Amino acid sequence: MAYDECLAASFSQTGLELQESANHVRLKVNVKPRSRENKFVLEPDGTLTIFITAPATKGKANREIIHFLAERLNVRTSQVRIIAGLRSNVKTIDISSLSRPEVLGLLAKVPD
């Protein structure tokens, strides 16, 4: 099984904690700024780690996280907000207009 297929299978059976409320999904992520490429990894403990190329200075990494997730989830950047952890590597992200199954499905989808 290829890595991408493994990743998709992991997300469909994940222990990733997503909190869902009316038209909003919140997820907690770990962020690794100044990485080689923008990507995310589902850790064995169910934690989602986002690797971002931007440095963690002057909000550059936060903006890159929002753009990266918006692109991956097919939503506008205004629908992705960091609601906790602006100056931390552990962040809580709010995504509006998507349900929990939609977020899991889009995260699991292998990019073209």
Q: Look at the chain and count its residues.
A: 112
What pLDDT sits at residue 106? Answer: 86
In 3D, which of 70, 30, 72, 79 has the Cα closest to residue 51? 30
User: How does pLDDT run across 22-64, given as a tens digit for each residue?
Assistant: 889 999 999 999 999 999 998 888 889 999 999 999 999 999 9
Domains and CATH numbers, the chain: 3-108 (3.30.1200.10)
Phi, psi of 25 (to 5 degrees): -130, 135
Q: pLDDT-based confidence at 15, cuts 50/70/90?
A: low
Across residues 88-106, what is the average pLDDT?
Answer: 91
Contacts of 94 (CB under 8 A, 6+ apart): 24, 25, 26, 80, 81, 82, 83
What pLDDT sits at residue 6? Answer: 43
